[in-house]
Every structure is written in structure tokens, then in C-alpha cells.
A and B are shown apart, each in its own frame.
Chain A
Amino acid sequence: MKTLLTFIFEPGFFSSQPVLTALFVSGVAAIVSAVVGIFTVIRGQAFAGHSLADVSSAGGSASYLLGVNPLLGFLGMAILGAGGMELVGVERARGRDLATGVVFGAGLGLAALFLYLDVTTTSTSGTTIAVLFGSMFAIPSRTEFLVVIIGSATLIILIALYRPLLLSSINPEIAAVQGIRVRLVGLVQMLVLGSAVALSAISVGAILSTALLIGPAATALRLAKRPNLAIWLAALIGLGAAWLGILLAYDSADWIPGHNLPVSFLIVMLVFLTYVIASLISGRGRGIASAKIATPIRSGRS
């Protein structure tokens, strides 16, 4: 038993500070992203989520020039981007798509500039990889503190707005009739999306943060029939993928001597695999077949 444990958890796994930091930061990021992801997927904002991630990379890359914690950089730009998308126009799905695309392009342009300046003016050669694809075992010190603040604030907002957010995600009009301020709820959802994206960006990188946001949520939505179950399941899948990915990355040093597989790659692949498996499991019960099965059930009255 002991040898099996040491086989799974290579020596030093639990005593390595970078590993513990990675477990903590990615755990919080995965849970927050998965919960926010449920609402993002229901509202059809996956594109907005991915765009915010790319926009946030401008902040992450600028933070190396300014000497601030990259998480603050990611967060700042993601929040600015979220506000920008809300302002430019979200009345219709199409308008929202266009607004998102415009903000997204501008953000990535800035990221290109800042990454160029990072590489040419500072000595941090790995910045581009770190910003875009993450550097989980080299998370800057004192990031955990910021992660606690941002993560808990985001979750508290989500718990407070759970019902209005759910109802306006199902249909904005019936929500408005019940007295819910749909525009305000939409703005808060975008801000919460921004902070989830920033947390994921510091873990798996800006580009790959979409995987933590959309993957676990999409998987949970295939399996769970009720909103609260979907949220718990998404959080569990996200956390599982993040921690297993870190473990595999740590252990992978043994597989190819002298080389660790990138953590971000492993996490994203685990998320993807879970989605594929869930789709295969639920494929028979849902989709085209179930739409046909569901309709003939009627009440006895006519």
C-alpha cells in the first residue's frame, strides 16, 4: 500500500512549496470557473468568455512591465473587457457577438504589444509562454492571498444572485416581469466571468482558461438535470482535472527523463476526456432521441 502511494505521489509532492501553491491556486480557479461556467454556457456566452481570456492576456503581459502581480494584471484587463462588452451593446445576441469580437481584437492587439516589450526590454524570457499557456509551478509569491480574496468574493456574489441569475438566464423577459433588473444582473455576470477568467489565466494560462470555464460546465450540463446538481458536478470535475493534471505533470518527470509534461496541457486534456466520456454516456438518453421520447408523455386530461 505504501509503495503504491509513493508510486502515485512521487516523493516530495506534498513537501514542495510550488506544488502546494499550484494545488491551491488551480483548485480555487477550477471551482470558481466551473460555477461561473454553468451560467456562461446557459446564457450562450462561451465566446464572450474566451474573448475575455484573450483580452486579459494584455493585462497579464503588461504586469511584467509594471512589476505588479500578474493576477492583478489579468483581472484588471478582464474586468475592463467585461465592462467594455456590456457598454458597446448587448441588447441582442448578434450585437453581443459583434461587440465581443471588437473588444477581443483590440485586447489581443495590446497583448501582442506588451509581450513584445516584455521579451525585448526585460530579461524574463518565458513571459509569453507563462501568460498564454500558464506556468503553474512558478506562480509568483503572495498570489495565494489574492486568489482567496478574488475567489471568495466571486463565489459570494454568485450565491447572492443565484436565483435572479438563473431565472434571467432561462428567459430575461419572465425575469423582468418578476422585478429582476435584468441588465444589472447581466453586468454582474460579466464581471464575475472576468474574475473567473483571471483566476484560470494565472493557473493554466490566458488562452487555455476557456477549457476550465466551459469544459466542466458543459460536461455537467450533459449529466445533471437540476441547476444545483450541475453546479456541484462542474466544480468537482474542474477540481479533479486540475489536481490530477498537477499530479501527472509532477510524476511525468519519470516517464521522459529530464522533462515534465506541461501541467496546462494535462489539465486541459483531462477536461476534454471527461467531456467526451460524458457525451458517450449521455448520448443515448439525450439529444435527438430524447426530444422525440419526451413529447408523447401527456396528462390524462384533454
Chain B
Amino acid sequence: MSASIRNSEPVLTVSNMSVVLGNKEILDDVNFELHSGEFSGLIGPNGSGKTTLLRAILGFHRLAEGSILFEGSAEFARRRSIGYVPQKIQLDPDIPVRARDLVELGLDGQRLGIRLPSKERRRQVDEMLRAVNAEAFADQRIGELSGGQQQRILIAHALIRRPRLLLLDEPLANLDIRSVAEVVTLLNQLAHEQQIAILLSAHDINPLMGAMDRLVYLANGHAASGPVSEVIDGAVLSNLYGYHVDVIRVHGRILITTGPGDEYFEPGRDCATSETSNSP
């Protein structure tokens, strides 16, 4: 599952990208590529600019410098076909919309007028619901679903137009451990089976350790990217978090330890604060 197939042109190429919001430089000289069929993590502490980076890719922020090429083109209009699952969506239980209705709106929600029932559309929606294992709760109101179930529906909503790139902003936040594992496994599987490039942002690297093909990490506005094996490195991670981090590999598992005895340790950060193991 490591980075392997690299014979095709990248789906997304970010070069020397800088983004300034207000007077603050949020991103400075960011470079990375995303490829079809790869599941990439966008890792960084809270406030490191992950959301800004994703929104810049979508075309919501103007670049101060650099360029973003999507499918080889710099055109804004093409980026309409990028799938996106935003951060912290609150779905009210009173909204009279079933899970399948939301997925269906992913197909044609931007169109004017009302539509007639269609077997073909129904088939597409059912197929998408099956792909994210959401058939069991397809007819419930979206607001009544659990966090993990809502994430799966939002993923289906974003994927039904068959994007070649899917961006997800902190989809694992506020999920229980089991749902985190389910969503990560699902995304990994979708990336490989449907040949989609997926970029998922997270402040905690641990739940993604076994699943990521590549990772882009952000700290202090700068980014570094590469295969997981290269990036998961004591010096690199120390640079990322701003305090000392050790990476230990034991029997094919990766232990990331941050010791409170370290003079650079900053208490109160919610990322990588404990000893954790993950099988690849």
C-alpha cells in the first residue's frame, strides 16, 4: 500500500503556493503533488493552515504567489468537479432530508427547477450508498445519524459526481474510535478501487498511519510532503510539531513518542501527545 504507481500525470500539482489572509501569511511556499489512487493525509497542528490550504485548492482563496494545477489546468471552473467534505458540519435533526436525498443533491443540487423521479438516478444513488456502506440507514433523516454515519453520507454526496480528487477537512474529529477506523478504511478502499486522489486533513496523525500512501504536513505555514516512510522521521516530526518527537519502529509497527521530560515539550497541545502504536 506504499507509494508505488507513479506513471501517470498528477491529479493536482501545487507549486510555490503562498496564501495571505488579511495581513497574515498563512501558507508560504507550499509544494506537493497528489496522484490518482492514492490516499494522502494533510497533517498539522491546529491553526497550521490545513483548512486554508484545502479552500485554496477549491478556489475559495486567491493565491499571493505560486500556482495550483488541477488535471493539468489552472482554470478555476474545472475545480467545480473537486469533491469536498467540509469541517464540522452540523445537521439539524429537524431537516426533512433523508440520507439518500442528500446524496442525490450531490448529483444535481446546483440545477434549477424540480425534477421527476428517475430510475437511472435512483440506481446511481443506491450504488453510491452501497459504496460507502450506508444502505442500512439510507432512509433515515440525516440529522438523526451518528457522526460516523453522517461522514459516510457526506462522502457519498461528494463522490457521486465521480470527482478525480476528494478533499476532506478533519472528517475524523468528534468521531468515536470505531467510526474513525471505519471511515479511514473506507477512504483508503475508495482511493484504490475507484482510482481517486484523496487528501484528508487531521491534527492527529495516528489513526491514519496504516492507511496513508503519502502525507503532506504543515507547520508554521510551511509544508513538506512525501511517502509516509520518509516523513515519519524524528527530525521531520520534531520540526512539524515544534517540540521534540521520537519515532521508533518495532516489529513493523511505528511508535511515536513525545516525552514530557523534554525541554521543548509544550503541554496542552492535542496532537501526538501520547504513546501510540499502529499496524501498517
Contact = CB atoms under 8 A, between A and B. Distances in A.
- Chain A interface size band reads 35 or more
A229 B98 CA distance: 12
B113 A302 contact: no
Interface string B84-101: 111001011111111001
B13 to A, nearest CB: 20
A226 B145 CA distance: 15
Interface string A266-283: 000000000000000000
B182 interface: yes
Contacts of B105: 163, 166-167, 170
Nearest to A294: B144
A225 B96 contact: yes
Nearest to A162: B114
A227 B85 CA distance: 22
- Name the residue in A298, A300, A302 with the highest tally of chain B Cβ atoms < 10 Å from its Cβ: A298
Interface SS majority for chain A: helix
B32 to A, nearest CB: 21
A167 B146 CA distance: 20
A226 B101 contact: yes
A66 B148 CA distance: 59
Interface in A288-302: 290-291, 294-295, 297-302
A254 interface: no
Given A164-B112, A225-B98, A230-B96, A294 B134 contact: no
B137 interface: yes
B198 interface: no
B109 interface: yes
A42 B140 CA distance: 17
A159 to B, nearest CB: 6
Nearest to B100: A226
- Name the residue in A38, A163, A226 with the highest tally of chain B Cβ atoms < 10 Å from its Cβ: A163
**4 tightest A-B CB contacts, nearest first:** A167-B109, A299-B133, A230-B96, A173-B86
22 contacts: A163-B114, A163-B115, A166-B109, A167-B109, A167-B110, A170-B95, A174-B158, A176-B60, A177-B83, A177-B84, A177-B158, A178-B109, A225-B98, A225-B139, A227-B97, A286-B93, A290-B93, A291-B144, A294-B146, A295-B146, A299-B136, A301-B133
Interface of A: 38, 41-42, 159-164, 166-167, 169-171, 173-180, 220-222, 224-227, 229-230, 286, 290-291, 294-295, 297-302
Interface of B: 58, 60, 80, 82-86, 89, 91-98, 101-102, 105-106, 108-115, 133-137, 139-142, 144-146, 149, 154, 157-158, 178, 181-182
Given A174-B154, A180-B109, 17 more contacts: A159-B113, A161-B112, A163-B105, A164-B109, A173-B84, A174-B86, A177-B58, A177-B82, A177-B86, A177-B158, A178-B106, A294-B145, A294-B146, A295-B146, A297-B136, A298-B136, A300-B133
